[in-house]
Homo-oligomer: A and B are copies of this chain.
Amino acid sequence: MTSETTYADNRPHVVIIGAGFGGIWAAKTLARQPVRVTLLDKNNYHTFQPLLYQVAAAEIEPEQIGYPVRGILRRMPNVTFTLAEVTAVDLHAQTVTTTQGTLAYDYLILATGSITQFFGTPGAAAHSFSLKTMEEGVRLRNHILTCFERAVHAPPAERRQLLTFVVVGGGPTGVEYAGALSELVYGPLRKDFPELDITDVSIVLLEAAGRVLGGMSESLSAYAARSLDKMKVVVQLEKRVTAVTDTAVTLHDGAQIPTSTVVWVAGVGGEGLARGSGIEVLGNGRVPVLPTLQLPQHERVFAIGDLAAFTVPEGGYLPMVAQVAIQQGIQAAQNIGRHQLGVPLTPFHYWDKGSMATIGRNKAVVDWHGRSFTGFLAWLMWGVIHIMYLIGFRNRIMVMLSWAWRYFTFEQTVRLIMPSSQAGWLALAPEKVNEKSAD
């Protein structure tokens, strides 16, 4: 890397931190500009996060939603990739420090995304599963299957604890995972474990507010709750979690649910690099940006996607979804072009393509500019949109095939407790390490 930064090249150097939706789309846009770009990520692949919950439900292979970053960059000769963890950003020296050395930048795009937030809930960081990274997806899949294997040999009380799965957070991810888990458990796992009594299984979805899918219309919330109920998911509203241990979750009303599995999808905040580098952040770690996506007082630094706190006129901030990241990635790259030309930067306008969540077979909800769709049509829309944004033609084919297979056979075939967690199933408490998440 040192050799690279001393390489004689008059083009401005743009450093992008993070190869998620925002970083990739920024790189694609900058590939057509007279700049040289270094894209940094701590993984060598882009993760299609919207389908991560399906990895955790044994529906698809993790490799199908990962795509090698270098494969994406092949047709972009001015973009190089460096596999490295960024340890610090110095906005005054205009440098980025990584595990592979230090880089000087002319422009910087912060696209590090988000991490799980536990709001200081005692035990939550140590004892719950998150769903933000490929590793977490595979770990949760392994854990669910391990709980069933262990339940076979456990005494009754422990067996029910092992077979109780609590999802904390009734947003899209919580709803989607609870539904997928229900289809896994009451479909293939019931057949796999004839020695277990299926009535010992319980899937609970806890939501602090008065309805699930709070970001969508009330009719869609009601549809989702009804659908989950039919799928034997116990939806409990207005329940706040006050403590998590490795054997139970405690609610604000004092109730306890014995469980070995708490899936925490109740909150996300900005990834920690910005805060750690002394960049001004909100309480949840997100970086406030100007309408041009620049940082206040740092015209050559942009923040995009989940990390960026972009104020909307109605109050509050843009949601942390893929579409915002993609559109902001393109806009930040274009604004870098404008800055070089010395013309005024244009403010970001979010084109809301609507929000959607799938609940199960033929069941989904779509909220599109105030119009609501449910059922089979919404489910088809959800599928088409997700395939469209998946990177890599092979991944698209493979995911479609996995879906088709599951649709027609009612099987989730990836029921494998795989490598990585060899250690996991012997000692139940897997390394549920959330040390990188906000406590």
Q: Which residues of A pack against B, CB within 8 Å?
A: 1, 43-45, 61-64, 66-68, 70-71, 74, 77, 80, 82-83, 85, 99-101, 134-135, 138-139, 145, 149, 152-153, 188, 191-195, 392, 394-395, 397-398, 401, 405, 409, 411, 413-422, 425-426
A70 engages B100 (CB within 8 Å): no
**In the complex, what residues of B have CB within 8 A of residue A145's CB?**
44
A192 engages B74 (CB within 8 Å): yes
**In the complex, what residues of B have CB within 8 A of residue A66's CB?**
416, 418
A43 engages B417 (CB within 8 Å): yes
**How many copies of this kind of chain does the complex include?**
2
**Given A61-B63, A99-B426: A188 touches B417 (CB 8 Å cut-off):** no
A418 engages B71 (CB within 8 Å): no
CA distance A80 to B425 in the complex (A): 19
CA distance A371 to B276 in the complex (A): 68
Chain B nearest CB from A288 CB (Å) reads: 31
A153 engages B43 (CB within 8 Å): no
**Given A61-B64, A64-B61, A401-B397: A71 touches B415 (CB 8 Å cut-off):** yes
**In the complex, what residues of B have CB within 8 A of residue A61's CB?**
61, 63-64
A188 engages B419 (CB within 8 Å): no
**In the complex, what residues of B have CB within 8 A of residue A99's CB?**
426
**In the complex, what residues of B have CB within 8 A of residue A192's CB?**
68, 70-71, 74
Chain B nearest CB from A8 CB (Å) reads: 16
**In the complex, what residues of B have CB within 8 A of residue A417's CB?**
43-45, 83
Chain B nearest CB from A70 CB (Å) reads: 4
Chain B nearest CB from A74 CB (Å) reads: 6
**Which residue of B is nearest A73, CB measured?**
B192
**Which residue of B is nearest A139, CB measured?**
B419
CA distance A135 to B418 in the complex (A): 8
**In the complex, what residues of B have CB within 8 A of residue A405's CB?**
394, 397
**Which residue of B is nearest A63, CB measured?**
B61
Top 8 closest pairs, chain A to chain B, by CB: A420-B420, A70-B192, A135-B419, A68-B415, A83-B149, A61-B63, A61-B61, A45-B416
A1 engages B419 (CB within 8 Å): no
Chain B nearest CB from A192 CB (Å) reads: 4
CA distance A79 to B71 in the complex (A): 46
A63 engages B152 (CB within 8 Å): no
**Given A44-B145, A394-B405, A398-B398: A416 touches B63 (CB 8 Å cut-off):** yes
**Given A68-B192, A192-B70, A192-B71: A63 touches B401 (CB 8 Å cut-off):** no
**In the complex, what residues of B have CB within 8 A of residue A193's CB?**
70
**Which residue of B is nearest A4, CB measured?**
B195
Chain B nearest CB from A101 CB (Å) reads: 7
CA distance A85 to B134 in the complex (A): 27
